[in-house]
Amino acid sequence: MKIALLHNPTAGDAALRPSQLTSPFKDAGYEVLYVSTKEKGWEKVFSEPFDRMVIAGGDGTVGRLAPWLAGGATPFCILPLGTANNCARSLSQMNTLQSVVSGLKSAQIKKLDLGIVTSSDGYQLFLESIGIGLLAGFMREMRTLQHEKKSRNRLGSEERLMDALKYLRWMAEDYPEIECELLLDNEAVAGRFLLLEIANMAFIGPNLQLFPRPDPSDGWLNVVWIESEQRNQWRQYLQLCGRGKEAIAPANSRRCQRIYIHYTNDSAHIDSKVFSSLVTPVSIRLECSALHLVDLGPRRFLPSSRDAGTPSASILR
C-alpha cells in the first residue's frame, strides 16, 4: 500500500523527527512518501496517486490540507500532534502512531462534509468552524503573543491550553459586543452578541465543546451564539473549564443547513485563519461527503497540541 505522510514539523511540541514517523510505516510494509508542509512545493503531492494519506499535525495543518483532499477519492487519517487537536478529537482520531500504522490498511472509510463560505470576495472552505467576535479576536491575540514571546514550545500542550482558557476568560470581561444579522435556514436572528460560531466539528477554540457532539457527515451545521447578557455566565463557564470540570456552555444553538450573514461589524476566523473583518453578505453551507476519512475509531487520547495554518483552496483543484 502506497501512502503519503504529510507532516508539519513545527506542530505542538515538535518532538518527532521525520525518520521517527516514517520508520514504523516502512517496517509494516508500506511504501511511504514523506512530505513536510513547511517545504516549498508540498502541494505537488496531491497530483500523485496514493492509497492513503496521513496528516501528522494539529488543527491548522488539517484545515490547510483538507481542501486539497476535497473532491478526490484518497482517504486520509490524522496523527494528532497539535495543542487542541479539535478536528482529531471530533473525528475520534486521537490515535498513537502505532495505532495508525496497525489500522490504516483495514479500517473502514467514511465520508465527511466540508464547509463553504461564499461572498463577493469568492469562497473558502473550512473543516472545523467559522466564527465572529470573541473567539476570532482571541485567536488573533494569541497569535500575536506567541510571536512576541517566542516561548510557545517551552510549555507543554496542557499548560498552553490552560493559559489559553485564562486569557480567553480575561478577554471576555470587556470584549466589545458584535452587531449581527443573519438567517438560519428560514429563521431570522439579529442582536448584539459576544461571539457567533458556525461549526462542523464538536470542539473549537481551546477544546471548547459548545453544543452536543455533532456528526460531521450528516449534512448539518451547528450554530452557537452568546448574547450580551450571558457574558458573566460565559466567564464562569470558562473558569470551570480551566479547572478541568465538566460544564454546559451558556449559549443559544441551532442546527441548520444554510446560514446567510447579512451584516456584522467585527473580526472573523475561518478555521485557523483570522480576518480583521468579514465581507458581507456571506453564505455558508456544506459540501456533503466531500472527504474520505479512514475511520480508525476511538483510541486513548494523546496529550493535546495545536498549530496554525491557512485553510483555503478550490474544492475543484
d(CA 256, CA 262): 16
Q: Is the pLDDT of residue 284 over 60?
A: yes
State mean pLDDT over 265-273: 90
3-state secondary structure the chain: CEEEEEECCCCCCCCCCHHHHHHHHHHCCCEEEEEECCCCCHHHHHHCCCCEEEEEECHHHHHHHHHHHCCCCCCEEEEECCCCCHHHHHCCCCCCHHHHHHHCCCCEEEEEEEEEEEECCEEEEECCEEEEEHHHHHHHHHHHHHHHHCCHHHCCHHHHHHHHHHHHHHHHCCCCCEEEEEEECCEEEEEEEEEEEEECCCCECCCECCCCCCCCCCCCEEEEEEEHHHHHHHHHHHHHHHCCCCCCCCCEEEEECEEEEEEECCCEEECCEEECCCCCCEEEEEEEEEEEEEECCCCCCCCCCCCCCCCCCCCCC
CATH code of the region 116-288: 2.60.200.40
Find how far residue 258's CA is from the centre of its chain. 20
The pLDDT value recorded for residue 121 is: 87
The pLDDT value recorded for residue 123 is: 92
Confidence of residue 149 (pLDDT cuts 50, 70, 90): low
Find the range with the poorest average confidence among 150-159, 210-219, 298-307: 298-307
What are the residue boundaries of the structural domains of the chain, listed by start?
2-113+290-295, 116-288
d(CA 115, CA 286): 4
Confidence of residue 210 (pLDDT cuts 50, 70, 90): confident
The pLDDT value recorded for residue 154 is: 58
d(CA 183, CA 129): 17
Nearest to 222 by CA among 231, 212, 208, 233: 212
**What is the percent of the chain with per-residue pLDDT over 70, rounded to a whole number?**
91
State mean pLDDT over 32-60: 95
CA gyration radius, the chain: 19
Q: Is the pLDDT of residue 309 over 70?
A: no
State mean pLDDT over 181-185: 96
2-113+290-295: in CATH 3.40.50.10330: yes
Pairing of strands 282-295, 187-199: unpaired
Per residue in 68-109, pLDDT (tens digit) is: 999 788 999 999 999 899 999 999 999 999 999 999 999 999
The pLDDT value recorded for residue 150 is: 57
The pLDDT value recorded for residue 101 is: 96
Bridge partners (DSSP) listed for residue 196? 132, 225
Output the pTM of the full model.
0.87
The pLDDT value recorded for residue 148 is: 63
Confidence of residue 299 (pLDDT cuts 50, 70, 90): very low
State mean pLDDT over 267-275: 91
Confidence of residue 312 (pLDDT cuts 50, 70, 90): very low
The mean pLDDT of the chain is 88
